[in-house]
Structure 1
Amino acid sequence: MTKIAFIVGEPSGDRIGADLIVYLRKKLADDLEVSGLGGEAMEAQGLISLFDIEELSIIGIGAIVSRLPQLMRRVSQTAKAVIEAEPDALVVIDSPTFSHRIAKRLRKARPHIPIINYIPPTVWAWREERAEKMRPYIDHAICTFPFEPEFYERLNGPPATYVGHPILKEPHLAPLLATPLGKRPPANPPRLVILPGSRRGEIDRLLADFGRTFERLNETLPGIEGVIPTLPRHRARVESEVFTWRHQPRVVTGHDERWAAFASADAALAASGTVSLELALAGLPMALAYRLDPVGYRFRHLITAWTAALPNFIAGHPLVPEHFHEIVRPEHLARRLERLLTDTPERRAQIEGFKDIREKMTIDRAPGEAAAEIVLDTMRRRAAIPNP
């Protein structure tokens, strides 16, 4: 029986971990035992999690600092459990603040056990020195962005391979990818999708300014339609804010409704994050905005990236506009969006850039299948190294 331990710290990683387990089972003919830390999706694949990973679903330096004692207790508990389990391999997925501490402790206690990092740290965005520091305890990095392996090689990090982003498996995206970009002109009046973030802090810091932006757009583009897709747990918060707006967009929840909004909109105003990649692949011109939490803002000097927008990283140039902190100005955002909601050179330039992103992101097989092969190959290669 092959035993593989997993360390996952948030729901997005949980889905990726579950997908990986499915393909590992196929390749191992169900001769697989999984353990460690995961969420509902991985539990459905047979993993019994050490504790609820919701405890680890935090964002921003400020949140991490405030909950550091709790995190360190969980690190000790998890590392002890993984070491005692003596797995044939450890796969850590995202959440490097937590998961890499486990990886380091396992490498020290059981140096012969291979360790694979699925979704490695964003060294291309900040703290580049982390790449080289990973080499002693990470045997292979599995990347979900096509530009990452080059970064890890240049920064002397562990071997890295691009396998494709999980979003490419999204069923709602398939018909959009099959539709040639730029064929549909913007509606009159146009339709705007508003995405203030998936976490409470992001919503609190952006939604009011997004509302003022929408008000301004109603003056220059009368009749503009708006829709705000959000998570069920945030609906009440979003609706209470939208209720104060003179022009009120629809608030919707649910996965189907979210992708329906993407398919019918002409442009997007969004919090910078993974959603920007979804919008780019869907062919939806966008303006991005973001505000760090107060503690994170004090550490902004650590950010070394030339952009925070994933479409820009993939395209290799400033394709989509970004607005941070003091530059999150409703008047500025509204003027930018006017150019994206109508047939202009700015709109056409973004759509042309999205074609390049689609091409660069293309894969010839499922990300989970490619990742499973890397995990098993790393195990085989590591097994050839004699135990110390």
Structure 2
Amino acid sequence: MTGGERMFKIAFVVGEESGDLLGSRLMASLNRVLPGRITYCGLGGERMEEQGLKSLFDISDIAVMGLTAVLARLPLIVKRVYQTVDAVIEANPDVLVIIDSPDFTHNVAKRVRKRAPHIPVIGYVSPSVWAWRPGRAKKMSVYVDELLAILPFEPEVHRKLGGPRTHYVGHPLIERLEELRSSAGERPALTDGRKTLLLLPGSRGSEVDRLLKDFGQTLEVLDRSVPDLEILLPAVPRMEARIRAETAGWAVQPEIVTGNAAKHAAFRRAHAALAASGTVSLELAISGVPMAICYRLDWFYRRLKDINRIFPFASVSSMVLPNIILGRNVVPEFLDDEVCPEKLVPVLESLLADTQVRQEQVSAFSELDTIMRLPDGRSQSEAAAAVVMDVLTRGKAT
């Protein structure tokens, strides 16, 4: 580095591990572009600290989901919001990058914008304004200058809703095809021996609470029509003991596997899946695994759902990501009381056989590569870094 080269300071604010992964990859790309010329501050996890960020505190303090869990930790979360805002203001960075976890990160960004409007703000991962509370898009434009979207339809959504300028930078899953897609022999033909069903009740305790029992009852009925079925249940390490205990009495015992390598191996082997709604549906689609998706709303969102019948605010007809990306409903979804053996078993039977229903899903999933890949061949982190670099070179707002 020569004496005339400018140094840059970037503040990050993330709220959970998925944001830490995105942040670390973005930092790695930025470090390649500007080696030795960037200092980092703010809030991140272990991966971001490996790239040069010293985090204000452990992100586990704020990585909670569900109204009950948030209320229980609300005083600490509020304290952490103001602590983070003060630290960003004091650091006076060239740009603030907030990543996902909007309940926390956007509260920080709003307060930074009020107190230090000259600091540009980049949002990484759009809140689901296309599904819930679309009015958030326009509100975001007040305190987010550039938005990095990981779903290809989101730039147009924000344009229509009056949101911030939005750039599609690619989804991290599309860069992991070798982990998710089976090679020759990994996924046996449907006619070759046992069939494999993936069971994915969610990675959070609240999801497991609402779905695991129903999934067990569904398996018990399904076993009568599809005997000798192999059941694989990938569990995140923190939920493994609980899931083992709660499935111990099931009539049909799943094989519980943990760790990303085992999870991806299960995806490559599976013929079909029964899963909770969420990003896992996109993982399954990219893996080519036909699925049925389930979701039970907690008491708060159940009330909102009831209100929604009179005052609708949802803007899409599906909660399943592959359906939204494809623009048509190819994956069946089951909400609340529909999560029961009577509804699920016939669908799973059709997905575990060579049926038109199964073929339609598999065929539709093959379109995702074309839709989701970046046209210039850049990686997600490289595309995100390009937007950050553009903001850096423009300088702080005046």
Conservation of the 8 A alpha-carbon contact between 1:123 and 1:129:
yes
Question: Residue 365 in 1 paired to residue 370 in 2?
Answer: no
- The Cα offsets for residues 20-54 of structure 1, whole Å up to 9 and x where unpaired, read as 00001111122110110011111111111111111
Q: How far, CA to CA, are the matches of 2:233 and 2:200 in structure 1? A: 6
Unaligned runs of 5+ in 2: 1-6
Instruction: Report the equivalent of 2:271.
Output: 266
- The Cα offsets for residues 102-153 of structure 1, whole Å up to 9 and x where unpaired, read as 1112112221211100002110110101111111211110000011111000
Pick aligned residue for 2:152 from 142, 146, 155: 146
Instruction: Report the equivalent of 1:222.
Output: 227
Instruction: Report the equivalent of 1:206.
Output: 211
Query: In the alignment, residue 351 of structure 1 is paired with which amino acid?
Result: V
SS class of match (2:251)? coil
Residue 175 to residue 326, structure 1, CA distance change in 2 (3 Å): closer
Structure 1 residue 248: deviation in Å?
0.6
Q: How does 1:1-388 map to 2 (within 5 A)?
A: 1-170=7-176, 172-173=178-179, 175-176=181-182, 184-185=189-190, 187-300=192-305, 301=308, 303-363=314-374, 364-383=377-396, 385=397, 387=398
The more displaced of 359-368 and 182-191 is 182-191
Q: How far, CA to CA, are the matches of 1:94 and 1:61 in structure 2? A: 18
Share of identical aligned residues, percent?
47
Conservation of the 8 A alpha-carbon contact between 2:66 and 2:206:
no
The more displaced of 121-130 and 232-241 is 232-241
Residue 340 to residue 187, structure 1, CA distance change in 2 (3 Å): farther
SS class of match (1:18)? helix
- The Cα offsets for residues 36-91 of structure 1, whole Å up to 9 and x where unpaired, read as 00111111111111111112222234433443332221111110010000001000
Unaligned runs of 5+ in 1: none
- The Cα offsets for residues 286-344 of structure 1, whole Å up to 9 and x where unpaired, read as 00001122223222335443211000110101110111111101221111100001000
Conservation of the 8 A alpha-carbon contact between 1:229 and 1:252:
yes
Q: How far, CA to CA, are the matches of 1:205 and 1:100 in structure 2? A: 28
Residue 67 to residue 306, structure 1, CA distance change in 2 (3 Å): farther
Instruction: Report the equivalent of 2:4.
Output: none
- The Cα offsets for residues 223-272 of structure 1, whole Å up to 9 and x where unpaired, read as 11101010121111111122111121111111111011111110000001
Query: In the alignment, residue 335 of structure 1 is paired with which amino acid?
Result: P
Residue 63 to residue 89, structure 1, CA distance change in 2 (3 Å): same
Query: In the alignment, residue 329 of structure 2 is paired with which amino acid?
Result: P
Residue 53 to residue 303, structure 1, CA distance change in 2 (3 Å): farther
SS class of match (1:7)? strand
Conservation of the 8 A alpha-carbon contact between 1:287 and 1:337:
yes
SS class of match (1:268)? strand
Structure 1 residue 168: deviation in Å?
2.1
Q: How far, CA to CA, are the matches of 1:341 and 1:97 in structure 2? A: 39
Q: How far, CA to CA, are the matches of 2:223 and 2:188 in structure 1? A: 26
SS class of match (1:58)? coil
Conservation of the 8 A alpha-carbon contact between 1:242 and 1:248:
yes
Query: In the alignment, residue 354 of structure 1 is paired with which amino acid?
Result: F
Conservation of the 8 A alpha-carbon contact between 2:99 and 2:125:
yes
Conservation of the 8 A alpha-carbon contact between 1:186 and 1:266:
no
**What is the aligned length?**
382
